[in-house]
Amino acid sequence: MSEVNGSNGASLNGHSLLSLVPKTEVDRTAKDYKTDQEVRWCPGCGDYAVLAAVQGFMPTLGLAKENVVFVSGIGCSSRFPYYMNTYGMHSIHGRAPAIATGLASSRPDLSVWVVTGDGDALSIGGNHLIHALRRNVNLKILLFNNRIYGLTKGQYSPTSEVGKITKSTPMGSLDQPFNPISLALGAEASFVARTIDSDRKHLTSVLQAAAEHPGSALVEIYQNCNIFNDNAFEPLKDRSTKAEAIIPLEAGERIRFGADGGKGVVRDAETGELRVVEVTPENESDVLVHDPHAASPVTAWALSRIADPDTLHQTPIGVFRDVKRPVYDTLMREQLDLAVDKKGPGDLGSLLTGSDTWTVA
Amino acid sequence: MTRQVKQVKQLDRVIIRFAGDSGDGMQLTGDRFTSETASFGNDLSTLPNFPAEIRAPAGTLPGVSSFQLHFADHDILTPGDAPHVLVAMNPAALKANIPDLPKGAEIIVNTDEFGKRALSKVGYDANPLEDGSLQAYNIHPVPLTTLTLEALADSGLARRDAERAKNMFALGLLSWMYHRPTEATEGFLRQKFAKKPEIAEANVTAFKAGWNFGETTEDFAVSYEVAPARLPLGTYRNISGNLALAYGLIAAGERSGLELFLGSYPITPASDVLHELSKHKNFRVRTFQAEDEIAGIGAALGAAFGGKLGVTTTSGPGVALKSETIGLAVSLELPLLVVDIQRGGPSTGLPTKTEQADLLQAMYGRNGEAPVPIVAPATPSDCFDAAIEAARIALAYRTPVFLLSDGYLANGSEPWRIPTVESLPDLRVEFATAPNHVNEDGTESFWPYKRDPETLARPWAVPGTPGLEHRIGGIEKQDGTGNISYDPANHDFMVRTRQAKIDGIEVPDLEVDDPDGAARTLVIGWGSTYGPITAAVRRVRSAGGEVAQAHLRHLNPFPANLGEVLARYDRVLVPEMNLGQLAHLLRAKYLVDAQSFTQVRGLPFKAEQLAAAIEEVSANV
């Protein structure tokens, strides 16, 4: 991986972060990560698939189960911690990244996961999300994007397409949606990926990469709300359309998609922008090779803009960006260590006395 | 420095106010005079008063910044009602402060700033130093700027830089007038300007020149001595409320064995606590400057979940933003300190001025039934003990706790008898380490809401503890298991149990100061009004009046004997810097005809004013 802003060698020792979390002494299975609580999402909800994938994936990390924490905000997906037999907190709307920041930055021995939704992370909690990402706090943020408010029964969300007819927008929504990937990249995120609830294999591979990443990882999961926004991602799931709709991003591979890889992403020589072309023997070598480790986020951001926000036609899926840069929690801990080195461990008696005293005898 | 024979008068106390433009360095001047006075051994109390603007337009009334210091050879309680001496660096400072001066007060003015433009800027048609309008006062006209420039003629400094040392000239003059020790100030200046030695020397030179000016000029015929105060035995330092509060938090961390985590967003007048704690990372204090008030408390709560001593510091507007998270902390039943350094409200209000109008916000400002204990310090140095007491309650009862200081305590200072570490309370906590419940099938499990029968506190099981994995959240939970529950009876039970836990917190009984036991009027206050109320009570008693006094440190829950105390008196007077918030609580809870005496001027009460109020109420008994 390339190193960005790599001034501090110790802070960049990324793989050591996961190694700070104690390993499990007994082999765990998905069953160990399930609680006795009845899962109360609507039948057919995409959240079930994600929950199963996460429960299946966590044992593969080999971490001590008691050192894993799930923190969520409010929304359908935020019930997630109640179904994970780890430590967990179901907090308040939008604040999970802030709460998790305090936990992660003071407990390097924990693997801290945030579960949030498009309303929770991008609307009421937008501020906390972007600041957690820019600080590069060691959090793994799973953003369930169903492009609708489900728990409040169907209002448009900050990722809903313009003109969305909902209970609160009978004549159509007016506001331009966020593109969560673009937003995260703009917020200096060091790891940004997108995956789909129904593609368990891809979802698991992205979770793996996120878990190993030192610092903040944002994983956008396209998740179907079959009650209030059914089939929102159908073009990406339907066998007959998905080959044309999904642009798979794989590190070191040319970005090609479509039936038989007939389409590719190239950089326009004049404008510098990315565009989709029919691949021919002549232009085949112009097709971009995906490099999530590129120091500059420019190409990752350009990739995030390829999809049309209304139709999601031609949507890149995979890891957009995965770079190492200093992790907030580590830097904070290093300052404490440095202060102890320089001044010695704090001595309360001498602190209280100070340097300017007088004695009444 | 040699001394000519000039008259020396003995005084038992003096009140000095330094006043000038925001850029004149009056706060620094006051701080230095305070340090000199503290090291001399007087008792003292200070009142900084400055505008919210960093640099209001020069020479205007809104730009005036002042620092009042009261020092004495006996114990004193307030920064004083009316200054005996005013140092006015410009016409604006004179005009803004003259209404507070008693006739006969001494006024030292910088005549260099009394030009026509400066006078007209604040509405003086004629020069008040020449038109006879100040005859009632003892004026010392001193060309402070000119004298400073002359003293620094050889310094090589540009005029602009040299002029800036005039506050040190004034400090030197006042230091001569009141026989203050000077070595520490010289050392302070050399350290403060260590990177600019020429500036350091210029300030020291100006400071000495001011001293020598007093010594030699005939205008100052008298100097004054105020003997050291006879305070209880011990080692003392001068301390401001915010510094004491920061030290109290560090002490609470040390005494509990928990690392301190501060999540905070800058806000006046609380930022100094963030600044101070940031300096002490060698105590493994983590300070997190959050993106907003909500993230500040959120991070502190997250740290508390992880087993740290979580703290957030703010002022009233910040509390409003944190309310939802405080409610979450009530529901999660995790320890958390919420420090509110109150300022004038509502909304942005008076950011740099004091008020105690957040009591009801702290008491009730949340959705649902969300009781939170409240502790309020009485004096600047008491902020240390109050912070430790707030931590005790938070840790023992697993609850967020409000610590209600205010701008007057935060920035004011007084001598503090430094406690030994061993004398501080032991705040150690025990985390849960094992299952606490046996299921029907004989297996064991951990119930996060199974309570201690005495305190009703729930166990604190931190992540990383094997076998105690559990989930908590803001949704109502089933008693014991903590699982989500919408059951009506369970909710009723949980709401009442959370309330009972707070109501059952053990707090010391209220002490009443009623020397002869004959008083029929009780004056009761809370927070920073302690000094003015106590000074007023002394006045009333020395004039032959009888009045009892009590001061509340715990506002929620109230001390168990409060109702009985209130019932003992025919009249109950409640002075507050709000419109009667404590009085409202007392009347509601104890059905007592408590009378309010209120003021919301952004300034502490004056003892004289309170004494008159007490006498009036007492007279009607």
Q: Does one domain contain both B44 and B189? A: yes
Residue B33: C-alpha distances to residues B75, B226, B255 (Å): 18, 14, 34
Phi first, then psi: what are they for A222, rounded to 5°? Answer: -70, 120
Give A152's contacts (C-beta < 8 A, 6+ positions apart).
Answer: none
Contact state of A98 with B303 under an 8 Å Cβ cutoff: no
Q: Does one domain contain both B401 and B292? A: yes
- pLDDT at B121 (0 to 100): 94
Contact state of B290 with A336 under an 8 Å Cβ cutoff: no
Res A5 pLDDT > 60: no
As given in the structure block, the two tokens for residue B118 are: 């400066």
A260 occurs within a structural domain: no
Question: Nearest chain A Cα to B258, which residue?
Answer: A106
Which spans in B178-224 are helix H?
183-192, 197-216
Whose structure tokens read 């799973």? Answer: A142
B519 occurs within a structural domain: yes
User: CA-based diameter of chain B, in Å?
Assistant: 96
Q: Does one domain contain both B255 and B343? A: yes
Contact B93, B62 (CB under 8 A): no
* Chain B residues in contact with A26 (beta carbon < 8 A): none
Q: Does one domain contain both B521 and B541? A: yes
- pLDDT at B364 (0 to 100): 98
- pLDDT tens track for A123-152: 999 999 999 999 999 999 999 999 999 999
B382/B45 Cα distance (integer angstroms): 13
- pLDDT at B4 (0 to 100): 53
Percent residues over pLDDT 70 in chain A: 96
A277/A283 Cα distance (integer angstroms): 9
- pLDDT at B195 (0 to 100): 95
Res B495 pLDDT > 60: yes
Q: Does the CB of B234 have a partner CB in chain A at under 8 Å?
A: yes
- pLDDT at A4 (0 to 100): 45
- pLDDT at B620 (0 to 100): 72
Res A11 pLDDT > 50: no
Question: Nearest chain B Cα to A332, which residue?
Answer: B286
Alpha carbon of B563: minimum distance to chain A alpha carbons (Å):
37
pLDDT band at A209 (very low <50, low <70, confident <90, very high): very high
Residue among B247, B358, B244, B266 nearest B312 (CA): B266
Which spans in B336-433 are helix H?
359-364, 382-397, 407-411
Apex B244 CA angle, B185 and B273, nearest 5:
95
Res B118 pLDDT > 60: yes
Contact state of B305 with A89 under an 8 Å Cβ cutoff: yes
With 0-12 / 13-18 / 19 or more C-beta atoms within 10 angstroms meaning exposed / middle / buried, residue B428 is: exposed
Q: Which of A87, A91, A339 sits opposite B473 (nearest CB)?
A: A91
Q: Does one domain contain both B155 and B249? A: no
Question: Nearest chain B Cα to A355, which residue?
Answer: B237
Whose structure tokens read 């209280």? Answer: A352
Domain boundary among B367, B395, B423: B423
Contact state of B282 with A344 under an 8 Å Cβ cutoff: yes
Chain A, residues 44-83, CB within 8 A of chain B, namely 64-67, 69, 71, 81-82
Contact A29, A59 (CB under 8 A): yes
User: Whole-model pTM?
Assistant: 0.94
Q: Which of B41, B251, B295 sits opposite A98 (nearest CB)?
A: B295
Q: Does the CB of B247 have a partner CB in chain A at under 8 Å?
A: yes
A56 occurs within a structural domain: yes
A159/A164 Cα distance (integer angstroms): 10
Interface test with A, best of B291, B322, B424, B433 (most A CBs within 10 A): B291
- Residue A180, phi-psi category: left (phi > 0), alpha (psi -120 to 50), beta (remainder): alpha
Contact state of A358 with B41 under an 8 Å Cβ cutoff: yes
- pLDDT at B54 (0 to 100): 81
- pLDDT tens track for B356-399: 999 999 999 999 999 999 999 999 999 999 999 999 999 999 99
Average pLDDT over residues B516-526: 96
Average pLDDT over residues B9-37: 95
* Chain B residues in contact with A89 (beta carbon < 8 A): 302, 305, 332, 471-473
Q: Does the CB of B485 have a partner CB in chain A at under 8 Å?
A: no
Q: Does one domain contain both B138 and B46? A: yes
A206 occurs within a structural domain: yes
- pLDDT at B253 (0 to 100): 98
Q: Does the CB of A108 have a partner CB in chain B at under 8 Å?
A: no
Measured torsion, CA atoms of residues B571, B576, B578, B580, in degrees rounded to the nearest 10:
-20
Q: Does the CB of A351 have a partner CB in chain B at under 8 Å?
A: yes
pLDDT band at A10 (very low <50, low <70, confident <90, very high): very low
B215/B218 Cα distance (integer angstroms): 8
B146/B213 Cα distance (integer angstroms): 12
Report the CATH number at residue B203.
3.40.920.10
B309 occurs within a structural domain: yes
As given in the structure block, the two tokens for residue B199 are: 């500036």
Residue among A34, A112, A115, A109 nearest A69 (CA): A112
Contact B304, A89 (CB under 8 A): no
* ipTM of this predicted structure: 0.96
Alpha carbon of A132: minimum distance to chain B alpha carbons (Å):
9
Cis check: omega of the bond before B269, within 30 degrees of 0: yes
Q: Which of B261, B281, B328 sits opposite A335 (nearest CB)?
A: B281
Q: Does one domain contain both B138 and B256? A: no
Among the residue ranges A7-21, B128-142, B524-538, the one predicted with the least confidence is A7-21
Q: Does one domain contain both B55 and B150? A: yes
Which amino acid is residue A136, in one-letter code? N
As given in the structure block, the two tokens for residue B528 are: 């920073």
- pLDDT tens track for B234-273: 999 999 999 999 999 999 999 999 999 999 999 999 999 9
Per DSSP, the three-state class of B581 is helix
Phi first, then psi: what are they for B459, rounded to 5°? Answer: -70, 150
Contact B403, B248 (CB under 8 A): no
Whose structure tokens read 């700033």? Answer: B113
Give B174's contacts (C-beta < 8 A, 6+ positions apart).
Answer: B16, B18, B33, B85, B87, B108, B180, B210
- pLDDT tens track for A168-195: 999 999 999 999 999 999 999 999 999 9
* Chain B residues in contact with A360 (beta carbon < 8 A): 41, 230-236
- pLDDT tens track for B461-472: 999 999 999 999
| Parallel, antiparallel or unpaired: strands A256-257 and A263-267 | antiparallel
A240 occurs within a structural domain: no
Contact state of A353 with B418 under an 8 Å Cβ cutoff: yes
As given in the structure block, the two tokens for residue B63 are: 């730009």
Contact state of B463 with A66 under an 8 Å Cβ cutoff: yes
| Parallel, antiparallel or unpaired: strands B309-314 and B336-342 | parallel
Res A16 pLDDT > 80: no
A92 occurs within a structural domain: yes
A236/A75 Cα distance (integer angstroms): 24
- Domain span holding position B570: 512-619
B276/B256 Cα distance (integer angstroms): 20
Q: Does the CB of A34 have a partner CB in chain B at under 8 Å?
A: no
DSSP-derived secondary structure letter, A83: G
Q: Does one domain contain both B164 and B64? A: yes
- pLDDT tens track for A240-252: 999 999 999 999 9
Residue among A184, A179, A308, A201 nearest A245 (CA): A308
- pLDDT tens track for B326-355: 999 999 999 999 999 999 999 999 999 999
Contact A32, A68 (CB under 8 A): no
- pLDDT tens track for A75-129: 999 999 999 999 999 999 999 999 999 999 999 999 999 999 999 999 999 999 9
Q: Does one domain contain both B307 and B401? A: yes
Chain B, residues 210-229, CB within 8 A of chain A, namely none
- pLDDT tens track for B223-233: 999 999 988 99
A40 occurs within a structural domain: yes
Alpha carbon of A309: minimum distance to chain B alpha carbons (Å):
29
Q: Which of A66, A340, A351 sits opposite B465 (nearest CB)?
A: A66
Res A66 pLDDT > 70: yes
pLDDT band at A313 (very low <50, low <70, confident <90, very high): confident
**Residue B342, strand partner residues:** B406
Residues found in chain A = 361
Q: What is the separation, in whole angstroms, between the first and last Cα of chain B? A: 59
Q: Does one domain contain both B257 and B196? A: no
Alpha carbon of A116: minimum distance to chain B alpha carbons (Å):
14
- Domain span holding position A108: 17-232+327-353
A311/A177 Cα distance (integer angstroms): 12
B490/B81 Cα distance (integer angstroms): 56
DSSP-derived secondary structure letter, A225: B
* Chain B residues in contact with A87 (beta carbon < 8 A): 463, 469-471
- pLDDT tens track for B401-426: 999 999 999 999 999 999 999 999 99
Q: Which of A66, A102, A332 sits opposite B298 (nearest CB)?
A: A102
Q: Does the CB of B281 have a partner CB in chain A at under 8 Å?
A: yes
B603/A349 Cα distance (integer angstroms): 34
Number of domains in chain A: 1
Cis check: omega of the bond before B557, within 30 degrees of 0: yes
Number of domains in chain B: 3
How confident is the prediction for chain B on average, in pLDDT?
Answer: 96
- pLDDT at B335 (0 to 100): 98
Alpha carbon of B421: minimum distance to chain A alpha carbons (Å):
6
Q: Does the CB of A359 have a partner CB in chain B at under 8 Å?
A: yes
A343/B67 Cα distance (integer angstroms): 34
Alpha carbon of A150: minimum distance to chain B alpha carbons (Å):
17
Residue among B97, B34, B33, B35 nearest B65 (CA): B97
The CB-based long-range contact list for A157-162 (8 Å cut-off, 24+ gap) reads A157/A117, A157/A118, A157/A119, A157/A122, A157/A123, A158/A118, A158/A119, A158/A122, A158/A123, A158/A126, A159/A118, A159/A122, A160/A229, A161/A309, A161/A310, A161/A311, A162/A309, A162/A310
- Residue B175, phi-psi category: left (phi > 0), alpha (psi -120 to 50), beta (remainder): alpha
- pLDDT at A6 (0 to 100): 39
Contact state of B308 with A106 under an 8 Å Cβ cutoff: yes
Q: Does the CB of B589 have a partner CB in chain A at under 8 Å?
A: no
Contact state of B298 with A66 under an 8 Å Cβ cutoff: no
Report the CATH number at residue B600.
3.40.50.920
Res B218 pLDDT > 90: no
With 0-12 / 13-18 / 19 or more C-beta atoms within 10 angstroms meaning exposed / middle / buried, residue A6 is: middle
Contact state of B469 with A128 under an 8 Å Cβ cutoff: no
Q: Does the CB of B460 have a partner CB in chain A at under 8 Å?
A: no
A158 occurs within a structural domain: yes
Res A298 pLDDT > 90: yes
Domain boundary among B207, B226, B245: B226
Alpha carbon of A142: minimum distance to chain B alpha carbons (Å):
18
Which amino acid is residue B345, in one-letter code? G
Contact state of A359 with B234 under an 8 Å Cβ cutoff: yes
Most confident segment among A258-262, B180-184, B584-588: B584-588
pLDDT band at A15 (very low <50, low <70, confident <90, very high): low
Report the CATH number at residue A22.
3.40.50.970
Report the CATH number at residue B357.
3.40.50.970
A115 occurs within a structural domain: yes
Domain boundary among B194, B226, B258: B226
Interface test with A, best of B305, B367, B424 (most A CBs within 10 A): B305
* Chain A residues in contact with B466 (beta carbon < 8 A): 64-66
Residue among A1, A4, A51, A2 nearest A188 (CA): A4
Alpha carbon of A28: minimum distance to chain B alpha carbons (Å):
14
B436 occurs within a structural domain: no
Contact state of B472 with A35 under an 8 Å Cβ cutoff: no
Residue B410: C-alpha distances to residues A306, B244, B353, B407, B556 (Å): 55, 9, 10, 5, 22
Phi first, then psi: what are they for B493, rounded to 5°? Answer: -65, -45
- pLDDT tens track for A315-332: 999 999 999 999 999 999
Res B3 pLDDT > 70: no
Average pLDDT over residues B511-537: 97
A73/A122 Cα distance (integer angstroms): 12
Res A2 pLDDT > 50: no
Q: Does one domain contain both B313 and B167? A: no
B255/A176 Cα distance (integer angstroms): 53
Whose structure tokens read 């990882």? Answer: A217
Contact state of A71 with B302 under an 8 Å Cβ cutoff: yes
